[in-house]
Amino acid sequence: MAAPGSSSHPIYVGPLAESSLPKLLASPEFKTAKKFILADENSIHFCLPLLLDQVEALREAEIIEIESGEQNKNIEICHRIWEVLSEMEADRHSVLINLGGGVIGDLGGFIASTFKRGIRFIHIPTTLLAQVDASIGGKVGVDLGSLKNQVGLFSNPHAVFVDYRFLKTLPKREVLSGFAEVIKHALIADVEYWNLLQHFDLSVQHDWNEIVLKSIEIKSNVVKEDPHEKGRRKILNFGHTIGHALESFFLEQGQHSVTHGEAVAIGIICECWLSHRYRKLPLEQFNAIVHLITNWFPHYPIDEMDFHRLIELMRNDKK
- For 46, 76, 167, 169, 238, the CA distances from 205, given in Å and listed in that order, are 18, 38, 10, 12, 28
Instruction: Based on the residue annotation, tell me whether 158 is a catalytic residue of this protein.
Output: no
Q: Which of 147, 156, 153 is nearest to 70 (CA)?
A: 147
Instruction: Based on the residue annotation, tell me whether 62 is a catalytic residue of this protein.
Output: no
Catalytic residue (one of 35, 73, 148, 240)? 240
Catalytic residue (one of 174, 217, 229, 262)? 229
Instruction: Based on the residue annotation, tell me whether 284 is a catalytic residue of this protein.
Output: no
Catalytic residue (one of 73, 139, 148, 158)? 139
Instruction: Based on the residue annotation, tell me whether 9 is a catalytic residue of this protein.
Output: no
Catalytic residue (one of 42, 123, 244, 247)? 244
Q: Which of 309, 272, 308 is nearest to 147 (CA)?
A: 309
Instruction: Based on the residue annotation, tell me whether 139 is a catalytic residue of this protein.
Output: yes
Catalytic residue (one of 117, 230, 299, 308)? 117
Asked if residue 110 lies in contact with residue 142, where contact means CB atoms within 8 angstroms, the answer is yes
Instruction: Based on the residue annotation, tell me whether 277 is a catalytic residue of this protein.
Output: no
Rounded CA-CA distance 310/247 in Å is 10
Catalytic residue (one of 35, 123, 185, 260)? 260
Rounded CA-CA distance 246/33 in Å is 41
- For 54, 64, 157, 167, the CA distances from 13, given in Å and listed in that order, are 14, 25, 15, 13
Q: Which of 6, 14, 29 is nearest to 124 (CA)?
A: 14
Catalytic residue (one of 181, 217, 262, 271)? 181
Instruction: Based on the residue annotation, tell me whether 291 is a catalytic residue of this protein.
Output: no
Instruction: Based on the residue annotation, tell me whether 185 is a catalytic residue of this protein.
Output: no
Instruction: Based on the residue annotation, tell me whether 225 is a catalytic residue of this protein.
Output: no
Catalytic residue (one of 219, 247, 262, 271)? 219
Catalytic residue (one of 35, 148, 158, 233)? 233
Catalytic residue (one of 237, 247, 262, 271)? 237
Instruction: Based on the residue annotation, tell me whether 233 is a catalytic residue of this protein.
Output: yes
Q: Which of 103, 84, 104, 79 is nearest to 94 (CA)?
A: 84
Please give the positions annotated as active site.
117, 139, 181, 219, 229, 233, 237, 240, 244, 260
